[in-house]
Each structure stands twice: as C-alpha cells, then as structure tokens.
Amino acid sequence: MPDEWADEKNKRCFSDAFSAWVRSKKAIRGLRFFLLANETNVIKLNVNLRGMSIHEKASATTVDRGPGPGKTEHSEVRFKRRFPVGAEPVAGGGTHFRVWAPKSSRVAVQFGSAGSPKTERAELAREKDGYYSGYVPAAKTGMWYRMELDSGIFPDPASRFQPEGPHGASEIIDPSRFTWHDQEWTGVARSGQVIYELHIGTFTPEGTFAAAQKQLPALAEVGVTLIEIMPVAEFPGAFGWGYDGVDLFAPTRLYGRPDELRHFVDCAHSLGLGVILDVVYNHFGPDGNYLKQFSEDYFTRRYANEWGEAINFDGENAGPVREFVCSNAAYWVEEFHMDGLRLDATQQIFDASPEHVIKELCGCVRKAAPNRRTYVVSENECQHAILVRDVKQGGYGLDAIWNDDWHHIAAIAASGHSEAYYSDFKGSAQEFVSAAKRGFIYQGQRSGWQKQSRGTGTKGLMPEQFVICLQNHDQVANSLLGKRVHQVASAGRLRALTALLLLGPSTPMLFQGQEFAASAPFLYFADHKPDLAPLVAEGRKGFLSQFPSVAHKESVAHLIEPHSKESFQRCKLDWSEKEKNRAIYLLHADLIKLRREDPVFSRPQPGGVDGAVLAPECFVLRFFSEEPGDRLMLVNLGPDLLEAALSEPLVAAPEGSRWQLIWSSESPRYDGCGTADVNTESGWRIPGHSAVVLAAEPFNDADGEPR
C-alpha cells in the first residue's frame, strides 16, 4: 500500500474493533426500519427489502463522461447499478462508487494505479440516509482505491477485492470481463444431493482456487453432487478458517483473484457439480474491521453474541445494514454463479423485525438466480425448524438444516466417548432409528447439558431437509488432536456408519478427504496479530476445556496453538492417499452410486422409512417402495447377532418376495471379512460391526427361486 494512503488514525482502529468484538449486551426489544429510497442527481435507487431483489428496482442513472476525443460537448450514458454499494465499472470507462457512511460529513475516493504512490481524488455526492455516490470517469478497472472519511482513509466496506489484505487498498473489479460457459446449468435441487465440505486453504498443498479446481474431477468421480466451500471473505493473516471475515464482498487474496473463484465454479458446473458458499452474517472479525468508521449502526449491543458485537438487523438505521447483507447474499449467487449459501450459526443472527433477515436474504438468493434452482442450508445449534419450513407456512423458506443430533449419535457410536455436549446422547440403536424417522432427536425436550429445552418439532418436513455427517470442520477440530473418524473407530464400525450416512433418508455430507480416509487432521488455526493471537489461543483452550479429557493437565500440553503455522500446514490433504486407501474410497463411491441409481434409495417417499431395534446395538431400517421391491438395511454395531426368528414385523419380506443380499460393508472389496447368508432357513445371521442391504425380490412359487 502506498505510504501516502496511510493515516495515523487507522492505527487506532484495531483496538477499537477488538474492544467491540469482546463487548456485547442483551437486547430487550427490537425496532424495524426500512430503507425505502435514495435519490440524487448522480443515481436513483429504490430498494425495497421486503422480499424484492436487492437491485430489482434500481433505475437507470445518467452519468456525465465529459467530452469525447476531439469534441467539446459532454457525452452522457445510462448506467444501472447491479448492487446498492461498492465500486462498479461503467461500460465504456469509468467507475460508479456508492457507500453508506452516515458518520462522515463528507466522502471522497482516492484512487490510482495498482501499487503506485500517485493518487487522484474525487468527492462523492451526499444522498439522503447517509449514502454517498458518484461516477468517476478516471477510475478504471484494476485501479486501487480507498474511501476518505472525516476520520481517515479506509478500504471500501463493499470492496470486491483486497490485493494486500483487509488493511490495504481496495481494487476495482469488473465481473463482466469473465466469460462463463455454464449457460446450460440449471442449478441444484433440494433432493438427491451429496454434499462435500472443503476448506480451500487446506484442500490442496497449494491452498488456492486454481489448485482446488484441479481436484474437481475426483469429487465428481466419487459421486459428490454439491460442494460447500468454507468462508472465503477477506480476513487478516496468512491462514485461517475464514469465520472472522471483514470484507464480505471480497474473496480473500490468499486463495487467488476473484476470476479464479469464478473459474472454479464454472469448472464445477461443467462436471455436474453444484457449489454453495459458507457465509457468516452473525458477526464480523475484529482485525481489519473498519465498519465503525463508516457507521456505528452496523452493530448493536442489544443482544449478547458469542463472538463479539451482534450485527444490527432490527435497531436504529438497520435498513442499510440489512441491505448490505442481503445484497452480499445475492452478489455471490449472481456474480460468481454460486448455487446457494450455507448460513453459519444462524442462532446468533438476532432480528425481532416482522420479517426476519434470514427469510429476506433467502428471498434475495432466489431472485438473484431466476433461471436456476438455488440451495440454502443453515447451521443452527438450537435446531429451529422454522428455518426450513415453507414461507406459506410461516417459515423462512430455506432448503435444509444441519442435524447436529445425528452427528453426535454417530460420534459416540464410533468412539464410545460422550463428554460435554455429547452427554445428551447415547449412540444407541434407538437414537439412530428415531433420527431416520424424525430428523432431530431433541424437539423440545430438556437438554441435560444445556439445562433447558432444545430443538423444535419436525412434523411435515422431508428427510432430505436434514443434512447429516460423520465429520465436519467444527466437530473434527473440537478434539485434542483433530483426529478423523477413521482414526477413532474400528474399521467395521466405520464402514457401517458410512453406509448409514450415505444410504439413509437424510442428505449426507462428507468433509474433505473423508472419502479416502485422509490422515491429515483438521485443527483450529488462525493467524492473528501478536497482541490478539494469545487471547484467541486462550479462548480456544477455554472452549475445549468443556471436554474433561482435553482439560486434563497431561492433554493440555499437546494442544497446538491456533496461530502456529504448523497447525495450518498439518491440515493439508495428501491426495496420494486416495490410491493408498483404495478400499475406503471404493466404499464411498459404491454407496453413493447405490444411493443415486437404486430405484428405492434414489426415490425416497414421504414417510417411506421405518425402523426398529433388534438388539442393544442392532437395528433395522426399512425403505418402502411404491413398486414391489422394498429395501432392508440391517446395521449391527455390536457382536454377531444370531436369531432363529425375529418377531419384528419390519423384517418380513413383502408377500410373494424374499430378501436377497445386494450390498455388505464386510465385502472384501472394502477390506472386510466377507458376509455369510443373512436370512436362511435356519434363521438370521447379522454380522457384527457391519451394515448389510437386502432387496425384496419376487420368487417363483414352484421352486422358490427368484423370478
């Protein structure tokens, strides 16, 4: 960044932002303010935030280009902004800027060639409601710029790229220069998805969009249908998870330039892969966060937030804040062709408005892709089913929600450990059956761990609206050494639980490298400034102390500091393990293929799954079909079960049919020990630590053989 662009006042911003990050208070009530319209001689904009596309009503704007070459008369062009804020290049030259900065009595743009100390300056015109805007003919694509306020010179809050990180200058980006090839892509349906969560920085040794793109064929080959990218919004330091982003519109320079992310998405679509982006609308990170220089009203102390000050979605001047977030949601879908979003920790998005901001931004996502199907999924620890209920039923209209209950059950079944928040579960056969039939385990009962009721009812929801997993970034890292599930479970249990994940009625999600039993751990890593890093490390240690095994003095010595580069480097995948661990890879590929191609598993019916417990660690799930040919999944996490008869009606084959084994987790193909006949004349033999799938096939009455 040129020295001339620096300002002494900027040095105080970090301490101010950090203080705000750790200070928050509960709210008593909320107010709702709507941004209705802004009009100046520079731009006319009418933004209605109640379900309308964030720029649907933006009107054409007349901008004065000045005299053309060899002419004395000024020329005018009609320009329509794509989004309410940020720097948008105008066709033919120049850039239109717009920013919300009610705290400042004036706003100017300082701009110049990339890295050059020489800059130009252009004043922006003040609109009502605290916006400033203006067309700057000399500001070209690729130039760097910053916003000059009363309090100093700062990056654009809606910057499209920060080439030197969140403390540096912003860059003017023209999205129209990228050529898309996905015109035939129709988007992502709610049902039939196999999600794959990945972190760009550790997905490959290089840790870039371009390197990740090279591995997309491998994901398509194994059968993944939808990629979920962990947050990419610009954040400080050389590495991090991305959940402390500060520039929501700017893909981080650590992974590449904006067009490289577009290439990633374009390539994914060519391979039949959808892409959704993990976004964080519950807080901003503390370092590089200059929003308060523009307006104090980005934040509120009315609510207690787990990670700092809550974002103001329902207080005074909340309209422009809602607009900022909703336009960001639409931005990723429109300009990067994302197929939707994963909303992080929505229980920390507080809004007492008549229309919740989550419902509003979901509507913006839909309207940003009118010719594509979009997919919006929520993480919500409280398990509020209203998020995924239809708008006509009073819900927010999202497609799916993470089902933490299922993960916790499976984690206990895999490892045998039930500390901290796992203590509400047993990893029992009955819990697996209940989850298959009803989604959440906790639907309003009292949680012993939380000492309050947890969850809401799921009646009327479809099974695919629950996203389940054996691993995700949080749960792998919420342990002493960040071990993967295959490192804490027996081989047989791992295969059985994987079958339950990939053939069950809910939407399955894999975490990067899970399909080939990656040896790389996934730890919490965050490269913060020296004065902040120890505080973050201490906070992380405090969080993990809820697990008595981690809090033990012997274990504490093995915790790796989040700001250690080693914690980041150790998490990078080794893709050669895909061939080394071929058996577990084939297990995943075969199960996903069965899920996709089997006439019963591929076409789940409402209420089409029932289940029952057969033994303390053995249960059955029956998948009903409209046509003859039900499927029976027998999962036994205990020892071999030998029964001369089973009195459970669900194991009875349909009339005129008999059960035939079509898949077993104990196949030698997966390094299993082989499978004897499961259902014989002498009774049932269900192998231990396994899952088997039986199909109902009609038989010939004369000789008893299948037809």
CB 333 within 8 A of CB 53: no
DSSP state of 461: -
Other residues' Cβ atoms within 10 Å of the Cβ of residue 210? 16
- At which residue do the structure tokens 């717009």 appear? 98
Q: Could you tell me where the DSSP H helices lie in 22-102?
A: none
Element (H, E) at 123: strand 120-123
For residues 486 and 510, give the distance between their C-alpha atoms in angstroms, rounded to a whole number: 13
150 as an active site residue: the answer is no
Query: Whole-angstrom distance between the N-terminal and C-terminal Cα of the chain?
Result: 76
Element (H, E) at 223: none
Residue type, position 591, single letter: L
DSSP string, 318-378: HHHHHHHHHHHHHHHHHHS---EEEE--GGG----SSS-HHHHHHHHHHHH-TTSB-EEEE
- At which residue do the structure tokens 């794509």 appear? 82
344 as an active site residue: the answer is yes
**Residue tagged active-site, from 244, 266, 360, 379:** 379
Torsion of CA 374, 379, 384, 385, to 10 degrees: 30
The length of the chain in residues reads 707
Element (H, E) at 633: strand 631-636
Other residues' Cβ atoms within 10 Å of the Cβ of residue 327? 26
For residues 251 and 258, give the distance between their C-alpha atoms in angstroms, rounded to a whole number: 6
* HEC secondary structure over 134-172: EEECCCCCCCEEEEEECCEEECCCCCCCCCCCCCCCEEC
The closest of 90, 170, 102, 192 to 137, measured between CA atoms, is 90
CB 560 within 8 A of CB 567: yes
Residue type, position 58, single letter: A
For residues 496 and 673, give the distance between their C-alpha atoms in angstroms, rounded to a whole number: 13
Torsion of CA 640, 644, 649, 652, to 10 degrees: 90
For residues 505 and 192, give the distance between their C-alpha atoms in angstroms, rounded to a whole number: 10
The tokens describing 81, both together, are 């902004």
Other residues' Cβ atoms within 10 Å of the Cβ of residue 115? 11
**Residue tagged active-site, from 156, 244, 247, 344:** 344
Other residues' Cβ atoms within 10 Å of the Cβ of residue 547? 18
C-alpha distances (whole Å) from 334 to each of 167, 549, 623 are 27, 46, 39
Non-local (6+) Cβ contacts of 583 within 8 A are 669, 670, 671
Phi/psi of residue 277, nearest 5 degrees: -115, 135
The closest of 119, 123, 91 to 107, measured between CA atoms, is 123
- At which residue do the structure tokens 């080959």 appear? 221
Angle (CA) 461-464-469 rounded to 5° is 120
Residue type, position 536, single letter: V
Largest CA distance in the chain: 100
The closest of 393, 558, 693, 167 to 550, measured between CA atoms, is 558
Residues carrying an active site annotation: 344, 379
